[in-house]
A and B are shown apart, each in its own frame.
Chain A
Amino acid sequence: MRGSNTALGAAGLAVFLALGEAVPRLGLVKEAYFPPTSRIASALWDEVTTDGFWSALGDTLTGWAVGLAIAVCAGVVVGVTVSIVPYLRETTASTIEFLRPIPSVALIPLAVLLYGAELKSVLILVVYASFWQVLVQTLYGVQDVDPVAEETARSYGLGTWARVRHVLWPTALPYVMTGVRLAAAVALILAITAELIIGAPGLGQEIAVAQTSQAVPEMYALIVVTGVLGLLINVGARTVERRALAWHQSVRGEVAV
């Protein structure tokens, strides 16, 4: 079953690539704007043999990883604090609901004013966008604590910190993991966007350069790279999630009793 699914997936991808090759060659679309697959592939090969590509990839991944790390730490710490300090949740709820929908890209002018075309500008956008994903999931997760588990912990004399560590955190973890997975995808989008628009070093800037210099196949090659990056990030996040939550009913599957 699994094997046949993989085969179908591969077949679908092959058809897609073949169409990408055939459609421009048949003249159905302008080859100058939609180069055939083979030309994109050879442009991709040229790219990966240059040092500039790898340093751009490194810059993008740095912005992504550092931004995501900050957002996850801040989101979890703020989420747990807001939930366990009495009345803080009620006090902050409306502020969170107001700040959360502000699109991160609306902060681009601010980021440029503050830091110009530096990594810090990218970080502002990445952190702002992914922080809310983690925060909101953490808030939901903390609410999910089972009263019976909480009473059990209290009856055995577990203090506040021990209850946070042994009851609240494991309960919230599945939610936090979902938040991290969503945040990882959003962080990549914002990292590329920032580089593309602000001109901070990275794959986004390379795409902009390729576009302005009419290097259309190179532009597509870089777009393909960002797509592969997104795919790898998602697969990686799911793997981490499955490992960390082996005990959770969404992962453990059916058990023999």
Chain B
Amino acid sequence: MKIYFLAATVLLSMTSCEKNKLPKAVDQRAYAVESIGKITTVKNLPADTIIGTNAMGQPIGAGRFSFFSLETGQWIPNADSNSTRWDLAFAGTVVRVNNATSGPGAGGAFVFNGTFESLQSVSADSVFRLDNHPVTYAIPRGSGRAWYTYDGPTNLLSPIPGRTLVIRTATGKFAKVEMLNYYRGGNTPSATAPDSVKLKDQRFLHFRYTFQANGSGQF
């Protein structure tokens, strides 16, 4: 088992939080990557966390993607965004793959309906979709479309159980990803929690994945 704790890389977004008078509690150090056997679990990956609200009261972030390498299990600095060092990039509900308008890699993705465990292999005739960043994405945005639902009345976002993202990485290898939670600590706030909690705790992604290093589609 290996555990990484990362801290300093995200101080930038912390300062922007303070500027917008959100509570200081945005604790980026909770970010963790943990591997057990073939499965790596990522916790509390900030994905363009909220820095304030717009005039309409809608939450807004700074527009910064968090780039992540499934191959190395590392959070990649934004300076490397134009490289094949990353496989997925996250900002709010947007997930980018490294290809086409999103990056220089050979990436791609599609959504598999079924559990993470039940996806044993990527069939040869699978069609991987590409991003048309910033308009449409291989993993579509929108409630109920790919990996999450958003409920207007409760203002909460939930990853849909039984949806597995099949990813072709920047170097053309395969991985499967399951999104687990959208909130800090991995706990979705109660429907009756105050708006302030729902705002400041959102966009902390939790997901698990299996990366196949040998280039085959067998997990």
Are A and B bound to each other?
Answer: no
| Residues of chain A at the chain B interface (Cβ within 8 Å) | none
